[in-house]
Amino acid sequence: MSVTMRDVAARAGVTPTVVSRVLHNKATAIRVSEATAERVRQAAKDMGYRVNVMARSLRERHTQMIGVLHGIGFARAQFDDGSRYFASLMDGIVNGAFEHGYSVTLCPKLLGQSPEDAMSDGRFDGLVWYSTFPSGENRRMLEQCSIPLVLIHTRASEFDNRFCSVVCDNDQGIGLGIDHLIGLGHRKVAFALDGRDEFGEVHERQAAFVGHLARHGIISSREDVINIGPNEAGLREYFARGCRHTAVVGPNEGVAGSFLRVAPDFGIRVPEDLSVVGFDSTAYCNEFRPRLTAISQPLVDMGRCALDLLIRNISGETLTSPQIVFPCGLDVRESTAYIAL
């Protein structure tokens, strides 16, 4: 059994009240004589006293902890598995949290079973939820949330602006990619997806793809959308029937990477025969040969921003502009080139 406040009080010859005041109540105006204070501090030190944060949290009704959740229907993101997407986001989140004196915790069973628990079981002062797909189930859950929450990669409007949200400018980002490709002479440009996430950001990016091509006078059709499918089967099928495009834009690094990986099997060279543009642009892009050109979003900054917003929320501030949109960039690497003449 560990030493409690009562123990320290006993040894110092005072009551727990005094111990609490001396040890944790620095801000308050209530004074304790320096002699007593010193006696208490010494006793605490001698006995190796530590507050019990559970008791404190129960009493004070806050925990200095924030939780990180993700939407139903997604496997837990790995820190090290292909794209550094989650790793980057988390670096921003954790750094932000630490600076504000908050811990951040990752919870099990937050996909499917009962994420709603974490939202109101007193464990967290606030939550960061990142998900690209506000399904009915997700929506229902979030609506019940009783603590501050900020969304990453979901538009605030999806939830009637009830929560703050941090997103990147998908439209502008895709525009950057399309402009780059058009500038290289490409006219037959495809959009790829893997069919797993058709409603969230991927959808937005696909719409942007169509829009920006149109801006350049190119009308894209259903034929220009390649669903690589599970295990890249759809991609192989596409290649097998002859590559009908000179460039392709993927909505993330994984999908774009599939093209780099599979193309050689069909004698297609990147970027000579096919230019490939990905999205996110984490360090993962450098692992490909050729290195993957990609539209970047400032993931670390976005995580950080989400956290700042959350802290302000927790502090009782009501944010007026519930959505922060970060502009994208374009990192030209080696997977895009002038179209072969």
Partner DNA sequence: ATGAAAGCGCTAACAA
Partner DNA sequence: TTGTTAGCGCTTTCAT
DSSP assignment, residue 317?
A: -
Here the tokens at position 308 are 């700042």
Q: How far is the CB of 142 from DNA (least distance, A)?
A: 21
| Among 102, 108, 155, residue whose Cα is nearest residue 124 | 102
List 7, 171, 273, 287, residue binding a copy of itself (CB under 8 A): 287
Segment near DNA (CB under 7 A); pick from 2-10, 89-97, 181-189, 229-237: 2-10
Does residue 5 touch DNA according to CB under 7 A? yes
- Using CB under 7 A, count the residues that bind DNA: 33
List 11, 84, 180, 245, residue binding a copy of itself (CB under 8 A): 84
Backbone angles phi, psi at 277, to 5 degrees: -120, 130
Put residue 263 in one of left, alpha, beta given phi > 0 → left and psi -120 to 50 → alpha.
alpha
Does residue 32 touch DNA according to CB under 7 A? yes
63 binds, among a copy of itself, DNA, none (CB under 5 to 8 A by kind): a copy of itself
Q: Which is nearer to a copy of itself, 48 or 316 (CB)?
A: 48
Binding mask 36-75 for DNA (x = CB under 7 A): xx------------xxx--xx-xxxx--------------
Q: How far is the CB of 284 from a copy of itself (least distance, A)?
A: 8
Q: Which is nearer to a copy of itself, 171 or 334 (CB)?
A: 334
Amino acid occupying residue 10: A
| Among 227, 274, 222, 276, residue whose Cα is nearest residue 249 | 276
151-160 long-range contacts (CB < 8 A, ≥24 apart) are: 151/306, 152/89, 152/128, 152/302, 152/303, 152/306, 153/200, 153/201, 154/129, 154/130, 154/200, 155/323, 156/322, 156/323, 157/323, 158/134, 159/134
Backbone angles phi, psi at 86, to 5 degrees: -65, -40
List 6, 24, 45, 50, residue binding a copy of itself (CB under 8 A): 50
Q: Which is nearer to DNA, 21 or 333 (CB)?
A: 21
Q: How far is the CB of 28 from DNA (least distance, A)?
A: 7
Q: Report the distance separating Cα 284 and Cα 300, nearest Å.
A: 15
List 101, 136, 217, 242, residue binding a copy of itself (CB under 8 A): 101
Q: Report the distance separating Cα 155 and Cα 123, nearest Å.
A: 26
Q: How far is the CB of 298 from a copy of itself (least distance, A)?
A: 13
Report yes or no: 46 and 11 within 8 Å, Cβ to Cβ: yes
Does residue 101 touch DNA according to CB under 7 A? no
Q: Report the distance separating Cα 144 and Cα 163, nearest Å.
A: 12
Q: Which is nearer to DNA, 36 or 172 (CB)?
A: 36
Q: Report the distance separating Cα 73 and Cα 137, nearest Å.
A: 10
Q: How far is the CB of 29 from DNA (least distance, A)?
A: 8
Does residue 53 touch a copy of itself according to CB under 8 A? yes
Q: Report the distance separating Cα 256 and Cα 259, nearest Å.
A: 5
Q: Which is nearer to DNA, 42 or 52 (CB)?
A: 52
23 binds, among DNA, a copy of itself, none (CB under 5 to 8 A by kind): DNA
159 binds, among DNA, a copy of itself, none (CB under 5 to 8 A by kind): none
DSSP assignment, residue 1?
A: -
Residues at the contact surface with a copy of itself, assessed by CB under 8 A: 2, 48, 50-55, 57-58, 63, 65, 76, 78-81, 84, 86-88, 90-91, 94-95, 97-99, 101-109, 116-117, 120-123, 144, 146, 282-284, 286-287, 300
Residues at the contact surface with DNA, assessed by CB under 7 A: 1-2, 4-6, 13-18, 20-21, 23-25, 28, 30-33, 35-37, 50-52, 55-56, 58-61
